[in-house]
Amino acid sequence: MKLTKIIKTSLLAMSILALVACGGAADYVETADRNDVVMVGDSIFELSGDLPRFLEAKAGATFRDYTISGAEISGGSLARAINLQYADANAFNGDIDTVVMDGGGNDILIPATLGDFYGCRTKWYRKNISSRCVNLINNVYVDTVNLLNTMDADGVQNVVYLGYYELPRGNANLAKALTYGVDRLGEACANANANCDFVDPRGHIPANYVLDDDIHPTAEGSQVLADLIWPSLQGLL
């Protein structure tokens, strides 16, 4: 049993590293029908590309896309961070009215997968997340507020921020960390200077709408996410 768990953890860690290796700044889409609409974030957007495509289909127009698999809000050594994605977008063309984004999930998921260094997974002997995990999530909150404040200072008019849904099966023991993390992301959206609308997908993505990696949405899951985002985005276009 212990060997099986080690093998599963190793395979999941390898899959995360493989996903990160597939994405980078070279994959940016910097020219679009609506250059004033920019997407930044992680693999919920970028891995399959379904979520951006579904949103663009609803809008009848393409958006600039800077999302990268494996990205954290700030820092992280595996992928270009989301605050840097936004900086790249602003440097290329600063005429940005609307940002559609997610972010913060990898800040928890990556260390939890590579070794649960912060104690974000609950165990039979630890029913709640550790204080180290709480501090980690609180730091993500601060980084998120800083990024949203930077967007506001740069003249971004609106931010649509997608939160995270419940993870099934092998990642179900991250439920308490995810609950606290998504709550804090929603608070960051509400407390920052930016005009930020938080989209909470919890309760909308069943386990069969999540791939076997227990992280990413299927095409059906991405369609649900697009449907949740659209009421916030539609009036901004």
Q: What percent of the chain has pLDDT over 70?
A: 89
Please report the pLDDT score of residue 77 as a whole number: 79
C-beta of residue 80 within 8 angstroms of C-beta of residue 25? yes
Residue 14 has pLDDT above 90, yes or no: no
Q: How confident is the model at residue 76 (pLDDT cuts 50, 70, 90)?
A: confident
End-to-end CA distance of the chain: 52
Fold of 2-234: Rossmann fold (3.40.50)
Largest CA distance in the chain: 55
Residue type, 226: A
Segment 54-68 shows an average pLDDT of: 98
User: For residue 166, is pLDDT > 70?
Assistant: yes
Query: What is the predicted pLDDT for the residue at 7?
Result: 43
Mean pLDDT score, 136-141:
98
Using alpha carbons, select from 149, 156, 144 the residue that is nearest to residue 37: 156
Q: Is the pLDDT of residue 167 over 60?
A: yes
pTM, to two decimals? 0.91
The answer on pLDDT for 215 being more than 90 is yes
d(CA 143, CA 122): 25
Closest CA to 113 of 7, 195, 16, 43: 16
Of 156, 235, 141, the C-alpha closest to 191 is 141
What confidence tier does 158 reach under pLDDT thresholds 50, 70, 90? very high
The answer on pLDDT for 6 being more than 50 is no
Sequence ranges of the domains in the chain:
2-234
- Measured from the Cβ of residue 234, the count of other Cβ atoms closer than 10 Å reads 11
| Mean pLDDT of all residues in 40-63 | 98
Q: What does the alpha-carbon distance between residue 219 and residue 210 come to, in Å, rounded to a whole number?
A: 9
